[in-house]
Amino acid sequence: MPSDTGYILGFDTSAAHCAAAVLSGDRILVVRAEEMGRGQAERLFPLIEEVLAEAGIGWRDLTRIGVGVGPGNFTGIRISVASARGLALSLGVPAVGVSSFDAIHHADPRAIAAVPAPRGLAYVKAPGTDPVLRDPEGLEGLMYPPDPASVAERIARIAAGADVTDSPPPAPLYLRAADAAPARDAPPVIVDDA
């Protein structure tokens, strides 16, 4: 059942930003976003605390949490999702995962949503279809995510209207494997004391 009272926190670190918003009813009380390529893990909680303080509320006033689950930066998604799950557990409130596609479709449900991916590619999702990784060249009418502050606002609004009855906790939306490679160095030699 949708939430119509209380305070909803929405946040996202799925791209080169850290963003958070507080929603009460249908009104955004505070929204803040900072561009950053690194450092979201260190900045997320101080940013959330600043947003809560500016809204005049504390952690225990939150009734729901919305979090961006991607697709996007592998590490950034893990930071947000782990934070949301920990907060939800500690505060005893539901957490709602919101994909970047959902945030785009919140403004225009008929849009062909596109999320930038590495190597000039994009994750593309038309309504009613599964997302695909492809070259966006030649595709017309793609709608990319808005600025990070608007993403956080949309996450909070979507979370407010979500049915959380028996819903699973938020989980990362990974559409491809991480860009991590095994170490090239040989493992260290373990010396036996015998």
Q: Which two tokens stand for residue 18?
A: 């850290």
109-122: per-residue pLDDT in tens? 999 999 999 999 99
Which CATH architecture describes the domain 7-108+147-161?
A: 2-Layer Sandwich (3.30)
**Mean pLDDT rounded to a whole number for the chain:** 92
pLDDT of residue 2 exceeding 60: no
pLDDT of residue 14 exceeding 80: yes
Confidence of residue 190 (pLDDT cuts 50, 70, 90): confident
